[in-house]
Amino acid sequence: MRVGIIAIQGSVEEHVKAAERALSERGGGEAVLVKHAGIIPSCDAIILPGGESTTIGRLMHREGIADEIKSAAKGDVPILGTCAGLILLARYGDKQVEQTNQFLLELMNIHITRNAFGRQRESFETPLKIPVIGEKAFNAIFIRAPAITKVEKNVEILAKCNGYIVAAKQDKLVALAFHPELTRDTRLHNFFFDLV
């Protein structure tokens, strides 16, 4: 299995390590950095890390990576978006997204709001119930996290926190408002890799 990690900005290294850890548990595979066009077509799965969604979106679009991701999604390649990655997967942004004309991939039928839980100093971690990965709560780390405010057709809600939807799935697309790559728990990565 070849996993492409979009490596434009944000928590890229952490995602590479987390993906490699999960892959090694299931018999191997490789994580490759995606900094330019031409790599995505050979990937079996794609991860969009957290960071600054405006920057990642703009550069991804400019470099032609965004178009390749959209084609991959059409070809049923699983895509995981965490935090800023969740924002980028969304079809519907908030006022800020609209006003700044921010680029979104528009792949998932979700409405999002950026920085739903407040600023950097309001970052927090919390045990989160995510039934699809088992009984035991997942230690979810939220850093200037977005949230899903509403879902449309074909979207399955996987977890909620403070009344917001913070994990969702639509076919082979998975959106998480928090950072699974910052914990040693590989259950969400394994859940995602099972979609390949």
Interacting residues toward ligand GLN by CB under 6 A: 50-53, 83-84, 87, 114-115, 143-144, 146
Residue 83 backbone phi and psi in degrees, to 5: 55, -110
Q: Which of 14, 15, 83, 189 is catalytic?
A: 83
The minimum distance between CB 53 and ligand GLN, in angstroms, equals 3
Cα angle 69, 138, 73; round to 5: 15
Annotated catalytic residue 181: yes
Identity at 96, one-letter amino acid code: Q
Q: Smaller CB distance to ligand GLN: residue 1 or 59?
A: 59
Distance CA 38, CA 61 (A): 14
The answer to whether the Cα torsion of 12, 6, 189, 32 is positive or negative is negative
The minimum distance between CB 55 and ligand GLN, in angstroms, equals 8
Q: Smaller CB distance to ligand GLN: residue 100 or 154?
A: 100
Distance CA 72, CA 76 (A): 6
The minimum distance between CB 18 and ligand GLN, in angstroms, equals 15
Q: Which of 14, 15, 68, 179 is catalytic?
A: 179
Q: Which of 14, 68, 181, 189 is catalytic?
A: 181
Q: Smaller CB distance to ligand GLN: residue 2 or 111?
A: 111
The minimum distance between CB 88 and ligand GLN, in angstroms, equals 9
Beta strand residue intervals within 43-194, DSSP E: 45-48, 79-82, 90-92, 108-113, 124-128, 138-142, 147-151, 156-161, 164-170, 173-176
Q: Smaller CB distance to ligand GLN: residue 12 or 73?
A: 12
Residues with a catalytic annotation lie at 83, 179, 181
